[in-house]
Each structure stands twice: as C-alpha cells, then as structure tokens.
Amino acid sequence: MADAHFNAIVVGAGPAGSAAALTMAEAGLKVALIERGEFPGAKNVFGGVLYRKQIEDLIPEFWKEAPLERAIVEQRMWLLGNDSVAKFGHRNERYLDPPNCWTGLRVKFDQWFAGKAEKAGALPIYETVVTELIRENGRVVGVRTDREDGDLRADVVIVADGVNSLLGKALGAHQEWMPDQVSLAVKEMIALPKEKIQDRFNLEGDEGCTIEFIGQTAGMAGLGFLYTNQDTLSLGVGVMVSDLKKHHIKPYEVLDSIKQHPMIRRLIQGGEVKEYSGHLIPEGGFDALPPLSGDGWMLVGDAAQMVNAVHREGTNLAMLSGRLAGLTAIKAHQQGSFSAGMLKSYDDTIRASIVFKDLKKYRGMHSLMRDVDSELLFNKLPQALNDAVYQMLLVDGVTKKEKQKSAIKLLRSVAGGNMDLLRLGLKGWRAMNG
Amino acid sequence: MLHIVVCVKQVPDSREIRIDPKTNTLIRQGVPAIVNYFDLNGLEEALSLKDRFGARVTVVSMGPPSADKALKQCVSMGADEGVLVSDRAFAGADTLATSYVIALTVQKVEEVWGPVDMVFCGKQTLDGDTGQVGPGVACRLDLEQLTYVEKIEQLDEKRREIVVHRHLEDGIERVKAKLPVLMTAVAELNKPRRASLPGVLRAAEYKPIVWTTNDFANLDRAQIGLKGSPTIVGKTWVPEQKKIDTQMIGLDKGIESAATDLIGQLFSTELPAKLGWA
Amino acid sequence: MAEQTAKERTRSKPAVGLQPTGEVDWSNYRGVMVVVEQRDGVAKKVSWQLLGESRRLADKLDAPLLALVIGHDVEQLAKEAIAYGADRVYVSDSPELKDYRTRPYSRVCLHVIREFKPEIVLMGATYTGRDLAGAIATHLPTGLTADSTQLDVNEERLLMASRPAFSEKLLATILCKQFKPQMATVRAGVFEALPWDDSRTGEIVRVAPQMSADEIVTEVLEFVAEKSRVNLEDAEVIVAGGRGVGGPAGFQLLDELAKVLGGEVGASRVAVELGWIEHEHQVGQTGFTVRPKLYIAAGISGAVQHTVGMQNSDYIIAINKDPEAPIFKFANYGIVGDLFQVVPALTKAFKERVGKRQETPAGDRTPLHVM
Ligand SMILES: Cc1cc2nc3c(=O)[nH]c(=O)nc-3n(C[C@H](O)[C@H](O)[C@H](O)COP(=O)(O)OP(=O)(O)OC[C@H]3O[C@@H](n4cnc5c(N)ncnc54)[C@H](O)[C@@H]3O)c2cc1C
Ligand SMILES: Cc1cc2nc3c(=O)[nH]c(=O)nc-3n(C[C@H](O)[C@H](O)[C@H](O)COP(=O)(O)OP(=O)(O)OC[C@H]3O[C@@H](n4cnc5c(N)ncnc54)[C@H](O)[C@@H]3O)c2cc1C
Ligand SMILES: Nc1ncnc2c1ncn2[C@@H]1O[C@H](COP(=O)(O)O)[C@@H](O)[C@H]1O
C-alpha cells in the first residue's frame, strides 16, 4: 500500500495547493493532497479578501456555491491620526455584477476549495504533516510524513506549504526569511449582528466593505484592516517583523490600541471577540522570489513569497501559481519527464503572468520600507496630513492662502525639508512603478 | 479467527455547540462531526486484539449518509469493514429503537461474515450521553454484558473466556465471562492509535457498505425511528444562569483579616450545619 | 474444536425485537419504585437520596413508595429503606446475588416489575445503575431516561424526568407515555435523603432469586477498592486550582485547605495538561461535573469549559489576581489577590474558627496524588 505511486503530491491544502491539485486531478492525474490541519483551512488565517478572476479560471461561476461572506462594493483607505482620520475610498455598483471580490473565511473557503479538488479525484490526506522530502540522486521523488509507514512517492512534488515553507528551505530555494521580508499579522474576529454591520458600514444585503488603514502602529511599518463579513468583522494589523524586534512591541498590543481609536472603536462597539489568530505575510516582493522549480519539484504561493502586499493580494497569486504549476505537471506527465529542464517551463509561465509583472511593478517597495524611517511614513506623515486637513477645513478667520501655506510647511517640516519631501515622493513613485 | 463488531456513532463535537442567546436553540451549524470518543477506545481495543490474536473487525454505525466519514476513519485505523445503517425511517430513534436496529445489524453481520465473538460499544455518547445502547444491544442479542471495561486482562480463545477489569466509582472489579460478550469501553482502556499512511490511503478510497430498511428481512417497522421510541422529548430549555451578587472581599485590611472575614461569612450560611463544621 | 465452538456460538437466535404484542392494560400499574444499590451490604447514598425525592412523587400520585433491595445479607437494608421513606420493600437475598451481575440482578428486577407493577422505576445513574437499567428497560421494553437531574409527575401520572444535554448547555424533559413502568436513572448528589426515621413502619416482601447459581456464567473474581480514587462527584467541598497555582507545590497548599475543610482537590484542564495533577481531579467539560456545597476556585480564570462543570455548586469562592477574571461572575465571594497568600490564610483562619474541636474525617478523604 505504502508504495502506492502518485503522479503528483501536493503539500499544503491552502489556495495554492488546492488549485494545483484541482487542475491536475481534473486532467486525470493521480494526485495526493496532503494537509497538516484537521481539515483544509482549520488553522489558516488571512484578512481576507478573495478575488473572482483566479478562482473563476478554475471553477466557473463558483460564487453561486462557494462559502463567501460579502461582495465588496466599497474599499476605503484611512490615514489615522491620534484622534482623527483622513479618508479615501471608492464605491461602485459595477463591482456587484458579477462581484470583483468578496470577504471570506478560510475555515469555510479552504475546506470547500479543497473539496473541489477531492471531487475531481485528488486523494485527501489530512492531519498529516510532511516532515521532509525524499530525494534520490538529487531528485525529489516523494515525501515523508509523520504517520507510520509514512513515505509516499510521486513523479513531482508541488510545495504549497505557505509562508513558513520548511520544504522550500530544505530545497535550498530560499533561506530563513529576513525580519524585513515578512510581517506578522494578528487578527480578531468580532461578532456583531448583521443589521448592525449593515448600518455601520452603509451596506445592504450581502454587500461588503473593506477598510485599510495606515497610522497608529506605534511608528512601525504596518497596515491595519477592518473587513465586513456576514455577522463578524475581521480586524487586524500586520507589522514588519524587523520593526517589532526593534521596538520590542507585541503585535497584539498594537491591535489593542487600535481598538481604542475613536474611529475604530465605534465600528466594533458591542461586538464580542470570537477568535484571535496570528500569521506571517510574505513582504519581500519581487526580489525575494526564490527559484520556483527543480528536479521533481515546484514551489507555489506564499512558499514562494508570491504576495502583493500593497494590494493585499495573496490568495489570487497563490491560486494562479498553483494552476500554472498544475498545468506544467500535466504537460510533464504527457511527455513523460519531470526533469528540472521540463519543470522550468513553470518558471516561464510565472514570468509571463501577473504574478511576476505585478510584483515587479512594486519591486522598489521593499527597499523603500527599509530605507525610509518607518516612524516618518507610518506615524508622522499620517498625523501631519490629518493636522493639515484639520487646519484647511477649520473656519477661523485665517485666509485660505495662509492655511495652504502653513499646511505645506507642516508637511515639509515633518518630512525634514523641501528636498526630502520631494525625494520621498519620488522614491515612493518609483517603488510603485518597478 | 475472532470476529469483533465495534459500534460507533458520529456525534457533533458537543464542546463546540453553543446556544443562541436570542432563540435559546442549539447552534449546530459548523460544529464538526467526530467519532464518539469512547467508541474509538472500543475500536482500538478490537484492533489491538486483532494485532495480537488475529481478528476480523467490522464497524457498524447507524446514522445519516454523512456518517460514512466516521466509518472511513475507523477503516483508516485498521478496521476491515464498515457498515452504515442509514435510512430516513431510522431517524429520531431513542436508545430502545437504536439498540433494536444495531442488534439487527449485528445479526446480519453474522449472517454475512460469520459468528461474532465480541461487540464493543463506547461507555456513552457525547450527544445522547445515556450509556444505554450498549446494554440494550447485549440484552437483545442475549450476550453477556460487561460495561465500563478499562482493561482486558486475559482472553482465552480456546476456552472462550475473557477476564476484564470494570471501572466503577469506588474501585475496580475483575470479572470473568464467557464469549460472546458485549463490552463498553471507557477512556482508560487504551489510547486510540493514529492511522498509518497506508491506512489513510485505503480509507480515502474506501466506500462503506450501506444497509437500509430494505436490507433487513425481518425488520419490524413499528420498532424503529421515532415510532419505535417510547421516550418523548417534552420541553427543552436553557438552564438559567444563577444570578449571583458577588461579594468582593478587599485586602485593604490585610490578608489575614480578609480570610477571617470570609470564613466568618461562610459560618453565617447553612454550610457549617450541612458540612458538619463544628 | 470447530464443531464445538460453532455449537456454542449458535445461540438460539435471540428475539431482537422485544415489543409487547397486542393491547396492554397499564392502568393497574401503581407506585414508585427505587432500586437500591449496595456493595457489601452498604447502600449507595444516591439510593436514599432517590427515596427522598420519590417520597414526594409517590405522595403526589397518592401511590406507595417501593424499594427493591438485591444482594446477600442485605436484610438490614430493607429496614433502612423504610427508615428513609419506603412503604414496602422487596428483598431478594441470596448468596448468588452477593456481587452485582447483570443477568441475575435484572431477572429479579424484571420479576418484581412484572409481578408487582410499579408505574415508575428509578435508580442511581451510577455505573451499576446504568448497566442494570439499560438491560431491564430493553427487556420490558420501556422508555428509559438517563442521568436525570429533576423529577416530577403530572396529572396524567406521567413521569417528567429532566436531564442535561449537550454538555449541560440544555435541559430537556423526557416523558414515556407508551409503556409502563416509566424508568429513569438519576444523578447522585442532586436530591436529598429524608432524615432517618426508624419509627417508620413498612412491609417487607421477600423475592426468590430468579436464576440458579449454575446458570450464571459470569464470575466476579475480585473487587479492588480504590482508596485513592478521587470522588469529585460526591465531594461536598472542592478546592480547585488552575494555571495560577503554578505547579505541584501549589497544589499542596490547596490540599491543606481541602484537608481542613474535609474536601477534595479539583483542577482545571490546564493544570492537568501541564502535568501538575492527575486527570481524575479535572473539573469541567472534559472532566467531572460537580455540584459540591462549597467550591473554591484558586488561580482559575473561569473559561466556560471549566464553569459548566462547577457552576451548580451551592457556594463558590474565587481567588484570582486578575479582577477581570470571568470566574468572579460565578462566585458568591471573591478575593482579588495572590493565592499563595490567600489560600494559606484561609486554611489558618478556618482552623482558628473551628478550633481544636474540628478534626477532619480523615478516613473519608482521599490522599492527594500530585505528580
Ligand atoms: C492577516 C492576513 C491577511 C491577508 N489578507 C489577504 C487578503 O485579503 N487577500 C488575499 O488574497 N490574500 C491575503 N493574505 C495572503 C494570503 O492569505 C496568502 O497569500 C495565501 O493564503 C497563500 O496561499 P498558500 O496556499 O500559498 O499558503 P497557505 O494559505 O499558507 O497554505 C499552506 C497550507 O499548507 C499547510 N502546510 C504547511 N506545512 C505543511 C506540512 N509540512 N505538511 C502538510 N501541510 C502543511 C498549511 O496547514 C496550510 O493549509 C493575507 C494574509 C494574512 C496573514
Ligand atoms: C474542547 C475543550 C474542552 C475543555 N475542557 C475543559 C475542562 O473539562 N475543564 C477545564 O478546566 N478546562 C477545559 N478546557 C480548557 C478551558 O478552555 C481553559 O483553557 C481552562 O479551563 C483554563 O484553565 P485555568 O483557568 O487554570 O488557566 P488560565 O485561563 O490560564 O487562568 C489562570 C488564572 O490564574 C490567575 N492567577 C495566576 N497566578 C495567580 C496567583 N498567584 N494568585 C491568584 N490568581 C492567579 C490568572 O489571573 C488567571 O485568571 C477545555 C477546552 C477545550 C477547547
Ligand atoms: N447510532 C449508533 N450507531 C452505532 N452505535 C451507536 C449508536 N448510538 C449509540 N451507539 C453505541 O452505543 C454506545 C452508547 O451510546 P448512548 O447510549 O447513546 O450513550 C455508543 O458509545 C456507541 O458505541
């Protein structure tokens, strides 16, 4: 029995792994999907927003059956000051038909998504941890699990074990992530009656809204989020691990203080915290992308740092990479070769895809974060902007011209002078544009 | 070779069940279904007898079609076959009706795979929590009944004798009985094993056998399901949370004085009389 | 061998369905019967507690209160049953009934029930009670409610036995209209026995055993009393500790307080999981459900999984450093403070209060086994 041979083994039933398993199983490959959780999604954490495009490519019209929370019609970006907020945002009815994205809960979604792979014929092996890859003559030929008689062999192993990818490290694809390549996110699920959520966020029916916020992260590089689910809110904050280390602050302390912020407090008021969780987010971006394949293996999703942190896109890139890896495996199966050369075509398809192109666009982001003082970007500037807006809108007899002047002066002085403000602006522009 | 039947029930993980504070009803949605703990102890014991003596282990369960997952889990651990007895007509059964169907099932298992030497049940379920089905099945099949077994001390296959330790409130009873017997398992009996990888692979492809009412030739429809269940659930309610005025004892006058104060307060209640404190 | 085995195995095919056929007249079933559980001639407390509650039911029904005593050398229990409220006691006293065994005991029960027709039969929800009740109810057949915590009867003479469901989160009242007798097992410690009254009189009816010694194949080889077995469910005082107790040494402090109060030591799951104390001390959803007269929670936060197991205690005292700890919501008395100071102070204050007169009924107490 143990020498049952598979065409492919997928390690990890997150979005990336299930997408790969589904793609291959549908093509008739014999696939084993191994997941350490009691069931897929049992312990997985994200914000989270799920995007239509990459799921639709796998399962047409999936939204008619998938366990989704709310269809996002409005996205807001908040810059938090101490007791104020400056807001941007966009709401559009066109986001509804069909929706562009939804909020979702991993416990439900991952289970459903992996279920699709199971139905297509992938063999689920859950509550099972892959402890190492089995290699022969430099080639990956299978995995070792923590179960008795736990070796399993396959032509190819698709490594989809998430941000902490032990297997990726074992492959030498990457090292331990640097503290500035990952942020640590903590998140609370806060239960509130449906009607309250709809009222507070100006929503009808299954419409949803997301808020991202900058500021109030104790001067550390970080991003907060507040998303609406059916009858819960997801409130969280992700902070760069290097900053956490520097400041000796625990992420939940940041979250606790954000919960006290007057603009946040009233949105979550009366809610009951149902769940608390923490998870790493890859932030290395383009320059952290490891080699994606080798002799008998491919690396997908978070395990390969495929996250666009600026747009909080991760699941979609995970699914896309999973699908592309799956397609490569199908081709390899047809041609009867799983050599490094053959699997290299997966790297090529990634290169040609949005995964590569989007990450490349934001390539400079990572070094920007590293070079510019987080205190400036994530505390002083949002605060100064709030102060400036406050002054502009305050009717107190001072002329508008004076007001404009002092607002610019304020921003300039916070940034450390005229030239610095300009330079910062340029840097930011470049970081966002490859 | 020994033939052992293990009765398992799929139950909602009752620890995860909450009460909707508004409607006072159970929130079962999203509550994971698991194999009743003690049933796994029964299965483990059957499997370890299989390891030692060689045995055929047949698992039976009455429940909805989704209970096939429970049987697959048992197969992944090493059971030879899983039988799901499933039919809308069985729904709503109390322990009397359940023990009837399970007894019929065991009889049918005997017809198909030969005489049964032992039946294991769990000491009780997490949801029904009665511990009555085991004795009910034993009674109907006229098997010797050994409840709350925490150890099988000895099994003499030739003489068809078994010595077990029964776990009682105040001690342990060593009992000798003749096969065939029905035993109910307590948690102390063993630690259920983790399935091996080949076991998981086998289970993933395994399809449990399903029997419906039509598969039982001599089934009396008056004795199954809701109709065959003499107990009726009347009203259900959520126990009222006692309203308690907590009296806080401050430490401002020191710990000793607080302690004396608290003990003094206790002595002004009915406790000293009831507990015989002086 | 094969042949013999096969013969042995082909028991006469039992009548799996035991439904009574035809119309049965249940109207001549009268009386509430308690099956008394005993070991070596000593009755389990729950039996007398049940007689206490059943007296109320019988009076309400205007029916006799019956007791059934089975065993060997148990004559005196019949008299005790009367002193505790029974009007009539059936006694089956015989050497082969010395140890509890399902078959011979259930035969006696079935005989008494069929012969004397009580409308309600109750027994303790102990291991033995559940074993016996399950067998009898199936044989009769009749409905059986397990582990009841409330009993009543209505105008239709129906027994309304209520029991907790889903880890105590819900209570349900169960009725049996179809058959007689109506049966229930009842949790220990819920009801109170009537005061002993040996001036009461009652009838004693002797019942012959229904199986001869050589018909009984099951043999009780020995009974090993477990002195060290913690009996939380019967404890009247429990001093429980959680993560705040910090380790086995902390539990010694709790044990000292438990000792002077004449109680047992309990624990939260965390403390058990950390290996500070054995599982048999665990209170809560995956441990024991207890309802002592006094429950002292030291260094326990009061997670719902713990409180479902102890919230029905008569008095609860919480000792916790954290004033926000949810346990205080359940407590009659709360002390915000360090248990390492408060617990010894309580031990001392209690000793002083009861003075030298109080010596713990040490024989009743289980020594603490901390790990
Ligand atoms: C707080 C937070 C908010 C986010 N918000 C969003 C958002 O709004 N939108 C978005 O698109 N993305 C978001 N992301 C990113 C997104 O969650 C990830 O990019 C995505 O889940 C990656 O998918 P994956 O399949 O590669 O990895 P994962 O989802 O991490 O899945 C890996 C799986 O592998 C399993 N596994 C790991 N090791 C082993 C092993 N050795 N053996 C067996 N199984 C193993 C794990 O249990 C897990 O199920 C967010 C992330 C976080 C942390
Ligand atoms: C499925 C499931 C089943 C469970 N079943 C059970 C169960 O049966 N029983 C059970 O108990 N739990 C059970 N639990 C666990 C339960 O949820 C809690 O985790 C557990 O009860 C907490 O134990 P605790 O109060 O000892 O620890 P904590 O929650 O860590 O609390 C320790 C407390 O001690 C206080 N403290 C610390 N030091 C001191 C000091 N020196 N003096 C005074 N106070 C101090 C702290 O303020 C804190 O309030 C279960 C959980 C699950 C998920
Ligand atoms: N529907 C069922 N299918 C199979 N076995 C059952 C079922 N219900 C109860 N049992 C068995 O009987 C034992 C006692 O159940 P209960 O009387 O409900 O507490 C369980 O532990 C199972 O072994």
Lowest mean pLDDT among A2-16, A407-421, B54-68, C134-148: A407-421
Q: What's the gap between Cα B47 and its chain centre?
A: 17
* Domain with A39 in it: 4-70+97-175+287-363
Which mean pLDDT values do the consecutive 10-residue runs of chain C (371 residues) have? 42 63 82 97 94 97 98 96 98 96 96 96 96 96 94 96 81 93 92 93 96 92 82 89 95 95 94 89 84 95 88 93 93 96 96 66 47 45
Predicted pLDDT at C226: 79
Domain final residue, candidates A348, A363, A378: A363
Q: Of all atoms in ligand 3, which is nearest to the CA of residue B132?
A: 17
Q: Enumerate domains of chain B plus CATH numbers.
A: 2-223 (3.40.50.620), 245-278 (no CATH)
Provide the angle, in degrees to the nearest 10, between the axes of the packed helices C127-139 and C102-116.
50
A58 inside domain? yes
Predicted pLDDT at B12: 86
* Cα separation of the two ends of chain B: 64
Angle at C102 between CA C97 and CA C105, to 5 degrees: 40
Q: What are phi and psi of A308, to 5 degrees?
A: -100, 95
The residue whose C-alpha atom lies closest to atom 4 belonging to ligand 2 is C305
Over residues A321-359, the pLDDT tens digits come to 999 999 999 999 999 999 999 999 999 999 899 888 888
Share of chain B above pLDDT 90, in %: 79
User: Could you tell me which residues come within 8 angstroms of residue C293 by beta carbon, excluding any fewer than 6 positions away?
Assistant: B271, B274, B275, C236, C237, C313, C314, C315
User: Which chain A residues contact residue B32 at CB under 8 A?
Assistant: 38
Cα torsion C134, C139, C141, C145 to 10°: value is -10
Beta bridge partners of residue A278, listed in sequence order: A186
Every domain of chain C with CATH number 3.40.50.1220 lies at 232-364
- Write the CATH number for A204: 3.30.9.90
Confirm if A143 and A133 have CB atoms less than 8 A apart. Answer: yes
Report the chain B residue with the minimal C-alpha distance to residue A129: B197
Ligand closest to Cα of B13 equals 2
- Write the CATH number for A353: 3.50.50.60
User: How far is Cα B259 from Cα B265, in angstroms, rounded to an integer?
Assistant: 10
Query: Do strands C88-93 and C65-71 pair parallel, antiparallel, or not at all (unpaired)?
Result: parallel
A247 inside domain? yes
Of A38, A108, A149, the CB nearest to B197: A149
User: How far is Cα A378 from Cα A367, in angstroms, rounded to an integer?
Assistant: 15
Q: What are phi and psi of A4, to 5 degrees?
A: -55, 135
> b/e string for B217-231 if b means 16 or more Cβ within 10 A?
eebeeebbbeebbbb
Mean pLDDT of A120-148: 94
Q: ipTM value of the model?
A: 0.78
Our answer on whether the CB atom of A52 is closer than 6 Å to any ligand 1 atom is: no
Every domain of chain C with CATH number 3.40.50.620 lies at 29-215
- The verdict on A133 and A243 lying in the same domain is no
CB contact under 8 A, A4 and B201: yes
Confirm if B41 and B190 have CB atoms less than 8 A apart. Answer: yes
CA proximity to C120, closest of C81, C173, C161: C161
* Domain at C29-215, CATH homologous superfamily: HUPs (3.40.50.620)
User: How far is Cα B102 from Cα C16, in angstroms, rounded to an integer?
Assistant: 10
Domain final residue, candidates A282, A309, A324: A282
CB contact under 8 A, C10 and B115: yes
User: Which chain A residues contact residue B202 at CB under 8 A?
Assistant: 1
- Nearest C-alpha of chain B: how many angstroms from C297? 14
Residue B138: count of CB within 10 angstroms of its CB: 29
Reading the block at residue B80, the tokens are 């030879």
Q: Please report which residue ranges of A261-339 form alpha helices under DSSP H.
A: 262-268, 315-335
Beta bridge partners of residue A74, listed in sequence order: A91, A209
Lowest mean pLDDT among A141-155, B97-111, B131-145, C164-178: C164-178
Q: Please report which residue ranges of chain B form alpha helices under DSSP H.
A: 37-53, 68-77, 95-113, 133-141, 197-205, 255-267, 271-275
Predicted pLDDT at C361: 44
Look over chain B and give the mean of its residue pLDDT values, rounded to a whole number: 92
Mean pLDDT of B262-277: 90
User: How far is Cα A216 from Cα A260, in angstroms, rounded to an integer?
Assistant: 11
Over residues A83-124, the pLDDT tens digits come to 999 999 999 988 888 899 999 999 999 999 999 999 999 999
- The verdict on A160 and A213 lying in the same domain is no
User: How far is Cα A318 from Cα A304, in angstroms, rounded to an integer?
Assistant: 9
**Number of domains chain A is built from:** 3
Which amino acid is it at B117?
D
Which amino acid is it at C220?
V
Q: What are phi and psi of A93, to 5 degrees?
A: -65, -25
User: How far is Cα C70 from Cα C287, in angstroms, rounded to an integer?
Assistant: 32
* Domain at C232-364, CATH homologous superfamily: TPP-binding domain (3.40.50.1220)
User: How far is Cα A260 from Cα A235, in angstroms, rounded to an integer?
Assistant: 12
- The verdict on A106 and A134 lying in the same domain is yes
- The verdict on A134 and A65 lying in the same domain is yes
Strand, coil or helix: B265: helix
* Cα separation of the two ends of chain C: 50
Mean pLDDT of B59-75: 97
Predicted pLDDT at C33: 98
- The verdict on A230 and A322 lying in the same domain is no
Mean pLDDT of A278-283: 86
Over residues B130-156, the pLDDT tens digits come to 999 999 999 999 999 999 999 999 999
Predicted pLDDT at C6: 42
Predicted pLDDT at A24: 97
CB contact residues (below 8 A), chain C span 15-34, against chain B = 15-19
CB contact under 8 A, B230 and C179: yes
The region, left, alpha or beta by phi > 0 then psi within -120 to 50, assigned to residue B163 is: beta
Instruction: Give Dmax over CA atoms of chain B in angstroms.
Output: 79
Predicted pLDDT at C359: 47
Strand, coil or helix: B191: coil
pLDDT higher at C87 or A174? C87
Of B32, B194, B198, the CB nearest to A1: B198
- The verdict on A217 and A232 lying in the same domain is yes
Predicted pLDDT at B23: 65
Sign of the four-CA dihedral C328, C330, C335, C337 = negative
Predicted pLDDT at B22: 64
User: How far is Cα C323 from Cα A427, in angstroms, rounded to an integer?
Assistant: 51
Predicted pLDDT at B14: 67
